[in-house]
Amino acid sequence: MGATIAEKILARAAGRDRVRAGEEIKARPDFVIAYDFPGYTDVIFRQMKEDFGIDKVVDPSRFALFIDHMVPAVTPQEEELHQVTRDWGAAQGVPVYERKGIGHQVAAELGYATPGAFVVHFDGHISQLGTYGALAIGVRRHLLEAFVKERIQIKVPKTTRIDLTGRLRPGVMARDVFHHIVRVIGPSACRFQVLEIGGNALEHISLEGRQTITCLAMFTGAITAIINPDRTSLDYALPRARIALDPVSSDPDADYAAVHRIDLSGLQPVVVIPPSPANTHDLSDFVGTEVQVGYLGSCASGRVEDLRIAAEILRGRQVKPGFQLHVVPTSQEIMRQAAEEGIITDLIASGAFVTSSSCDYCFGRMGVMSAGQRAVSTGTLNVRGRMGSPDSEIFIVNAAAVAAAAIEGKIADPRPYL
C-alpha cells in the first residue's frame, strides 16, 4: 500500500521513512506562521517567556509573522499590538510582513508554500498553501507548541480524495466548486482528515482558483487540503521556495478514507445562504433577493481573476445607487497587477470602493452592516454577525455574482453580463 502526500510530508518532518494515518508522531514544522491578533500572538510571546523561560525561538528563519488584520489601526490599542509584533520580530530575527496583503496569500507569494513543506499556523485558512503541495495546518492555540518546542505532537490524518472532472462553464468559478463539494459530500465528511483535491478538471482551474478551494477546506471538516504538485504549481512555487525540498505526491495505491468523483461540467453558480457555510444552494433559487452590500475580497477570493471578471461585468455599467461595493484585492502584488491591467480603473469608474489589502472587511471590523442589511460576499464565512450586526445576513457567492448584484441591488445571475 502506498502513501498519501500528507503521510510523506509528515514522515519527513518526523524524521521517519514512513508514517501511517492514525499514528501519533512528533513532527518538526518547516514553517511556523501567524498573524498578529489580540489574545493570540501577544499571549504566545508572553507565555513563551514567562511560562517556559524561552528567550529565542529555535531557527527564526522558520518563523513568519504577518500584520494583516487591523490594518490600518483605528485605535491606539491596535497599533500597540502591531508594535509588540514588530518588536518581537526584530528581537527574535523573525521576519514581520506588514501591509503586503492577507498573510495566507502573501505567504505563497514569498515562498512559504514550498512544495513538500509542513507548515503550521493558528488559522485554518492557511490550508490554501496546499495548492502548491505543502501540508499547512491550522492548529489554533496549539501553535504555542511550535513556538516553545521544535517538534509538535500530531496524529497523522487520514485523507479523503476528491477527483474533479469536467470543465467549468463561463460564470462558474472555483468558489462555486468548493461550495459544491460541501453540498455533495457534506460539512463533516472529512472531519480530522486531509482533503486531497485532484482530477483532470484542475487543468482548467488556475492556481488562484485552487487557492480558493484549498483555503476553505475546514468547511468539510478537514484540517487542511492539498493538491499533488503539477507543472503549473511547481513553476510558481519552486523559484520562490525558501527551502530546498523534494516535492512529493500521493502514490497511485495510497490508502484513502474515501474517494469521491465530482463532475463539474454541469455546475451552475451557487449561493451559500446564512447562517452556515453548510447551506449551499443554486444561485438561481435566490435571484431577486434584495442586497445592499457587496464584498469582493478575503483570503478565499479577491485575486486577479476575481477582480478581472468583476471588472468585465461592471465595465460600462454602474453600481446601483445606495449599494456599497467593497473591493479588496488580496495582496498588494495583486493590486499592482490589477492596476496594470486597468481593472482597478474599471472598478472605480463603475462606483466600486476599491481599497488596500486587509483582512478587516471579512471579519466585520470595517464596512460593517447594520441590522436588516444583507450582503453578497466572497468572504470566508456567513455566520451571524460576521460582517457587523448579528441581525444582518451574508450570502456567499462568486466574484462575478457579487458584481452582478452590485448592478441590480439584488442577487443576480452573472452569466447574462458576460
Partner 1 sequence: MPLKNLRGRAAFVFDEIDFDVDQIVGVKNIKIKDTDELAKVAMQGYDPDFATRVKPGDLLIGNENFGYGHPHYPPMIAMRRLGISGVVAESFSPGYWRGEIAMGFPQIACPGVLGLVSRWDELEVDWKDSQVINRTTGTALPFEPLSDGDRMMLEHGGLIGYLHARDEEETE
Query: Would you tell me which residues interact with partner 1 (CB under 8 A)?
Result: 24, 47, 51-52, 124, 138-142, 144-145, 148-149, 153-155, 187-188, 191-192, 218-219, 221-223, 275-278, 380-381, 383-386, 389-390
Output the smallest distance, CB 304 to partner 1, in A: 26
Output the smallest distance, CB 383 to partner 1, in A: 5
Output the smallest distance, CB 284 to partner 1, in A: 24
Instruction: Confirm if 24 and 40 have CB atoms less than 8 A apart.
Output: no
What stretch of H or E contains 344? helix 343-349
In the structure grid, which three cell numbers stand for residue 216, read together?
476553505
Residue 386: DSSP 8-state: T
Output the smallest distance, CB 141 to partner 1, in A: 4
Q: Which is nearer to partner 1, 109 or 145 (CB)?
A: 145
Q: How far apart are CA 211 and CA 306, in angstroms?
A: 12
Output the smallest distance, CB 129 to partner 1, in A: 17
**Phi and psi at residue 395, in whole multiples of 5°?**
-105, 115
Output the smallest distance, CB 353 to partner 1, in A: 25
Residue 169: DSSP 8-state: P
Q: Which is nearer to partner 1, 193 or 228 (CB)?
A: 193
Q: In the chain, what is the straight-line distance between the N-terminal and C-terminal CA atoms, in Å?
A: 47
Q: Which is nearer to partner 1, 209 or 274 (CB)?
A: 274
Q: Which is nearer to partner 1, 61 or 188 (CB)?
A: 188
Q: Which is nearer to partner 1, 207 or 394 (CB)?
A: 394
Nearest alpha carbon to residue 363 among 391, 342, 383, 341: 383
Alpha-carbon radius of gyration of the chain: 21
Q: Which is nearer to partner 1, 223 or 344 (CB)?
A: 223
Nearest alpha carbon to residue 170 among 207, 213, 204, 215: 204
Residue 399: DSSP 8-state: H
The three-state secondary structure class of 262 is strand
Q: Which is nearer to partner 1, 139 or 407 (CB)?
A: 139
Output the smallest distance, CB 274 to partner 1, in A: 11
Q: Which is nearer to partner 1, 148 or 234 (CB)?
A: 148
| Overall size of the chain counted in residues | 418
Q: How far apart are CA 53 and CA 147, in angstroms?
A: 12
Q: What is the DSSP string of 15-53?
A: T-S---TT-EEEE--SEEEEE--TTTHHHHHHHHHHTT-
Nearest alpha carbon to residue 314 among 298, 327, 301: 327
Output the smallest distance, CB 384 to partner 1, in A: 5
